[in-house]
Chains A and B, each alone.
Chain A
Amino acid sequence: MGVIHVENITKTFEKNKAVNDVSFSVEKGRIFGLLGPNGAGKTTTIRMINNILAPDTGKITINGEIASPATQKMIGYMPEERGLYKKMKVGEQLMYLTQLKGMKPSAAKKAIDFWLDRFGASDWKKKEVGELSKGMSQKIQFIATIAHDPDIYIFDEPFSGLDPINSETLKEVIIELRSQGKTILFSTHRMEQVEQMCDDICLFNRGKTVLQGDLREVKASFGKNTINLEFEGDGSFLDNLTDVRLNNRSTNFAEIRVLNGQSMQGILEVAMKHAEIHKFERIQPSLNEIFISTVGEDNLKNEEV
């Protein structure tokens, strides 16, 4: 059984089924990506894992224990909407939040000093959070999430609003945490980050999981149904292609998803007539393509019903 185990959970707000019979399992030492469009039920699921909300039905276990105040201590959680007390000093604030996670004051102090030092933020200890820049307070928020040294880390949209440098630091820390055997679950809709970092994914749409598993296996299951095309010349011929979807298009590059058994050779012929081809490659679809097609199909299916 996984470190985080979610079994048939459902959560209804008034008439809206925010989460509908969802199950997945996060294995120890892996990075698990929770994907899906806005409103798919990711945040609600994450809140239930954190025992902030209780599922209407179903069961969530953390390290084998039913989600409870005791399991909250095992998790470091950074919500999508981040925030700190603006008028409180950095050091006191971190002490407060860390102690709420059950840490003893002396141990909390040591951990906070360690992380402040690690992020080059030791000088800010006596500053009020309101005085800090956005990037600085994001670091403090991150320290508040991890200082109590939990086994499990949950980040809801961790990269939203981060500048490239903080984004990179966060990525490094997440990968470092995994190398220490920690388990990480994060939600995002930035696919390139998922491709770079995640071991497993779970794709949500309309409160249900529509796709889940090991990232590489998921991608392989879609087969090499995509063309990676590099060319020079007039790219307008691309608009006349039928039964394809163009992703990631630019002046001399296109990722072409072939649909309905359209012939790849035919596409190559057309391309050669209109432009000089530098590269023509059959590849696995990008995660972005998988995301769009899976969610699209799911929505179509729902409309028919």
Chain B
Amino acid sequence: MSWNKIFLVLKREYVTRVRTRSFILSTLLTPLVFIAFIAIVVLVSLPDNDISKKVGIADQTGLLFERLYELDSDQYVDVREVPVDTLREQVLDGEIDGYIILDDAFLNGNENPTLVYSGGGLAFQDLVEDDIRAAYREARLEQVNVTDEVRGIFEARPVLETLKLTEQGEEEDNAIAGAILGFILGLLIFIGVFGYGALLMRGVIEEKTNRIVEVIASSVKPIELMFGKLFGILAVALTQFGVWILSYIGLSIIAAPVAGLILQAQLESLPPDAIETAEASFDPSMLENFIFAPSIFLYFFVFFLIGFLIYAGIFAAIGASVDSEQDTQQFMLPVMVPIFIGYFLNLQVMENPDSTAVVIASLFPLTAPINMISRIASTSVPFWQIALSLALMAGTFMALMWLAAKIYRVGILMYGKKPSYKELAKWVRQ
């Protein structure tokens, strides 16, 4: 095998693809999407003061309205004196957003109250529900005359805090951020393997339909051509992911300080009494949860690399076996099934990274590239599992590449009839 020729093919493959407008745009725009995402996280968590819904409360018990009014004086209006028909009209006219009749049956726990309204979203419903529950609990507690101690028990809201133990000692656990990262990295590998694999396949078909492949074959061995193309595309993918990961690392490091500054500016424009609630609802240091140890990204590149190599040989062989993209479908199914299984299992990995099914998926070489990286990000995976999965993947890669090279070698010079699996088997033995 001539490395010089492989390198020439690789260089052409890389240079012609990296120069295309679509590559440059998708590479540079994606980090902007990261920024937008972080900005949205910040904005959503900032205090939102414009809930301006009016809910009429027809309180027939005389115990609940005052309490609701205390909870949110803007939201609740007393409509005890207004007849129901008028209330309905008011809702339809938009004068109020809804009304609730609270009677003794409710206070006695026999009946649920009904919010009659013209719509307003789940958040609004939850808000009203929370307020009603709070008012109800307080009224009832007072009715039965419990001690302050009991009241304290009811009001207590213990929170589960977590501390993750690692070899390096204790660290603050960011399980949610880790699970999200794991899912995204798995998704990236899925997209990368599938997208770049398909790109490789189209490139092989293009060389066949352009008929240039015979010219090339008179200068390089088929296996050199295949490796050159494969590694060229791999280099394109690594360039793109490299840019993304580096900009992610950079952004995640500066995100917390920058968000802090934005928040500071916002707080200064708020009235003093709102500052406290605002500060409580958003803590810029939570963004630090999005800073991850570089090792996870290293794993990402290793798993993407081997995952790509496992599938890319097959994609190249499929491209070599057919004359046009329409003919690829019958061969695509066996490739798509495992890769999509990996993709769908990824949700499971996020929720339950240590379940048996997920552990198996993260070891099985065809789904491991996607599922193992998600697991590594979400939980602490024993090293032997990582090593086993890498070893299985490497073995699969070599076996599939051998098979693919055989099919590729014969296929690139075959035109006309679409081969059957039986014929492909003959090519391999040739």
Partner-B contacts on A (CB < 8 A): 14, 47, 50-53, 69, 72-73, 75, 77-79, 81-88, 96-97, 99-101, 144
Contacts and interface: CB of A to CB of B under 8 A. Distances in A.
A83 B426 contact: no
Contact of A96 (B8, B217, B221): B8
A180 B149 CA distance: 110
B426 A81 contact: no
A243 to B, nearest CB: 42
A52 B215 contact: no
A130 to B, nearest CB: 10
Nearest to B224: A69
B281 interface: no
Interface of B: 2, 5, 8-9, 12, 16, 207, 210-221, 413, 426
B218 to A, nearest CB: 4
Contact of A50 (B2, B8, B218): B218
14 contacts: A14-B426, A47-B413, A50-B218, A52-B214, A69-B220, A72-B219, A79-B211, A81-B211, A82-B211, A82-B215, A83-B213, A84-B210, A85-B207, A96-B8
Nearest to B11: A96
Given A52-B413, A69-B2, A87-B16, A79 B214 contact: yes
B210 A97 contact: no
Contacts of A82: 211, 215
Given A69-B2, A99-B8, A83 B219 contact: no
B218 A85 contact: no
B21 to A, nearest CB: 12
Residue among A14, A78, A85, A101 facing the most chain B CB atoms (10 A cut-off): A85
Contacts of A52: 214, 217-218, 413
A75 B413 CA distance: 19
A256 to B, nearest CB: 41
Contacts of B210: 83-86
B221 A69 contact: yes
**Which 9 pairs of residues, A with B, have the shortest CB-CB distance?**
A83-B211, A100-B219, A81-B211, A79-B214, A83-B210, A83-B212, A77-B218, A50-B218, A52-B217
B12 A75 contact: no
Residue among B214, B216, B221 facing the most chain A CB atoms (10 A cut-off): B214
B219 to A, nearest CB: 4
A47 B214 CA distance: 9
A100 B5 contact: yes
Nearest to B211: A83
Contacts of B413: 47, 52-53
Contacts of A75: 218
A96 B211 contact: no
Contact of B214 (A72, A81, A88, A100): A81
A144 B215 contact: yes
Given A69-B2, A83-B210, A88-B16, A77 B221 contact: no
B211 A100 contact: no
Contacts of B214: 47, 52, 79, 81, 83
Nearest to B412: A52
A100 B212 CA distance: 13
Contacts of A87: 16
A84 B212 contact: yes
A225 to B, nearest CB: 40
A72 B218 contact: yes
Residue among B2, B211, B218, B426 facing the most chain A CB atoms (10 A cut-off): B218
Contacts of B8: 96, 99-100
Given A47-B413, A87-B16, A88-B16, A97 B211 contact: no
A180 B82 CA distance: 111
Contacts of A53: 413
Contacts of A50: 217-218
A51 B216 CA distance: 12
A99 B426 CA distance: 34
A96 B218 contact: no
A97 B221 contact: no
A244 B315 CA distance: 59
A192 to B, nearest CB: 26
Given A86-B210, A97-B216, A100-B219, 6 more contacts: A50-B218, A51-B218, A72-B218, A82-B215, A84-B212, A97-B215
A144 B395 CA distance: 40
B16 A97 contact: no
A100 B216 contact: yes
